[in-house]
Amino acid sequence: MELGIVYLRHVCGDPPPGCEIDILWHEHELGNYATIGLLWGDPQTDVPWEYVNRCETALAAFHEAVSWSEINPTTIQGLFETDKTDKDEEGESS
């Protein structure tokens, strides 16, 4: 989610004045889940739909462009461990 927020700020710019992009937690009977949301303090303020729509489009493109299974933290951790082992072995043979 935090990576998505960084991406939104990069692609769509900072949120309108008085607004903030943040992670929102929602309760569900099967457990809690998170979404990225746009928050603002004044309920009388109109929703900045142009910014919201740009963010929705950007997040959809981001989601489609990333192979989430390829960047699984477990898989990546294994790559780091293999890399460390290879370097240790190289150091021993020198």
pTM across the whole model: 0.68
pLDDT in tens, 21-79: 999 999 988 889 999 999 988 777 788 999 999 999 999 999 999 887 777 777 666 66
State the average pLDDT over residues 4-23.
Answer: 94
List 40's β-bridge partners, or say none: 19
Q: What is the pLDDT of residue 11?
A: 96
Q: In whole angstroms, how far apart are CA 58 and each of 3, 13, 33, 55?
A: 13, 11, 21, 5
Q: Which of 8, 9, 24, 16 is nearest to 45 (CA)?
A: 16
Distances (CA, A) of 69 to 41, 63, 74, 76, 83: 37, 12, 10, 10, 20
Instruction: Note down the domain range covering 6.
Output: 2-69
Residue 86 lies in a domain: no
Residue 76 lies in a domain: no
Q: Is residue 18 part of a domain?
A: yes
Instruction: Determine, yes or no, domain membership for 17.
Output: yes
How many structural domains comprise the chain?
Answer: 1
Asked if 38 and 48 touch (Cβ cutoff 8 Å), the reply is yes
